[in-house]
Structure 1
Amino acid sequence: MPTAVTAIAPAESAAARAHFAASFTFETDCWDVHASLAEGPDFVLLDVRSPALFAKGHVPGAISLPHGKIVASKMAAWEADTVFVVYCAGPHCNGAARAALRLADLGRPVKLMAGGITGWLDEGFALVSED
């Protein structure tokens, strides 16, 4: 009798490879963002939470731009090929996905930082605050 895990067979290797390889084009992780920030980033990091939450604590180097404020006029400040990495509170929050969708709708290259603030803190990285 199969368990809940094996009742649906895993994908064929080729399909699994395509799926997991494609996921890296949509997401990055906190560790890679941290390392890239130290190297001199080739992307813009957007904290898409509220300004109040940004002020309480955010990833160093991030810019506050709530997902609802991502519009063409604001994005005109950056070159069209600028890569954006977006994050929100964490896996329980869909703000980063909303921001990524808005950026994609504007034709902007975007990745989501998996884990958000929760993931950042889980990795042992520090936040900075405006206080």
Structure 2
Amino acid sequence: MSFVSAIPAALSPDAVAHFARRLSVETDCSDVGAALKAGDVDFVLLHVVGTPEAYARRHVPGAIHLRHAEITAERMAAWSSDTLFVVYCAGPHCNGADRAALRLAHLGRPVKLMIGGITGWEDEGLAFATGVEPGKLAAAA
């Protein structure tokens, strides 16, 4: 018996509940990139770590730089209460997006974490934006 099968797989109803729960709080770089490319942006993308200079050097197109420490009820009042926020940070070695997601959830805001962050975005071969503005997704070459 392998380490893979030593613990039996979950029953289907348990697996459904588990994976549905994960997808309710996570999205991935590919899905965010596809939404940006198609113009189906029904969320606000937040770049939640780093300095303004680091953001200006490289960020996911369309992302607003708002550090997790700056997420307050007053700041978030700029968006309607049902706005979905997608947060990301540097990558799997960074917990800034988790901190931002927790702050947003405490404020009663819908939120998903973009797993992989900047590292995942780069791994997917997706284009970055530069500058102090959110920027646009580059057209496919």
Smaller-chain TM-score bracket: over 0.9
Quote the residue 1:109 is aligned against.
110
Q: Equivalent residues in 2 for 1:46-57 (5 A)?
A: 46-50=46-50, 51-57=52-58
For residue 53 of structure 2, give the secondary structure of its aligned residue in structure 1.
Answer: helix
Q: Distance in 2 between matches of 1:100 and 1:53?
A: 21
Residue 21 of structure 1 and its aligned partner are, at CA, apart by 1.6
Q: Equivalent residues in 2 for 1:11-22 (5 A)?
A: 11-22=10-21
Q: Distance in 2 between matches of 1:10 and 1:55?
A: 45
Quote the residue 1:123 is aligned against.
124
Which is further off, 58-67 or 5-14?
A: 5-14
Quote the residue 1:45 is aligned against.
45
How many positions carry a matched residue from both structures?
Answer: 130
Which is further off, 2-11 or 107-116?
A: 2-11
Q: Distance in 1 between matches of 2:94 and 2:57?
A: 17
For residue 5 of structure 2, give the secondary structure of its aligned residue in structure 1.
Answer: coil
Q: Distance in 1 between matches of 2:16 and 2:83?
A: 28
For residue 6 of structure 1, give the secondary structure of its aligned residue in structure 2.
Answer: helix
Quote the residue 1:6 is aligned against.
5
Q: Equivalent residues in 2 for 1:42-81 (5 A)?
A: 42-50=42-50, 51-81=52-82
Residue 91 of structure 1 and its aligned partner are, at CA, apart by 1.1
Q: Distance in 2 between matches of 1:65 and 1:101?
A: 14
Q: State the percentage of identical aligned residues.
A: 62
CA RMSD of aligned residues (A): 1.4
TM-score normalised by the chain length of structure 1? 0.92
Residue 99 of structure 1 and its aligned partner are, at CA, apart by 0.5
Q: Distance in 1 between matches of 2:117 and 2:49?
A: 10
Quote the residue 2:32 is aligned against.
33
Unmatched 5+ stretches in structure 2:
133-141
TM-score normalised by the chain length of structure 2? 0.86
Residue 10 of structure 1 and its aligned partner are, at CA, apart by 2.0
Unmatched 5+ stretches in structure 1:
none
Q: Distance in 2 between matches of 1:109 and 1:40?
A: 17
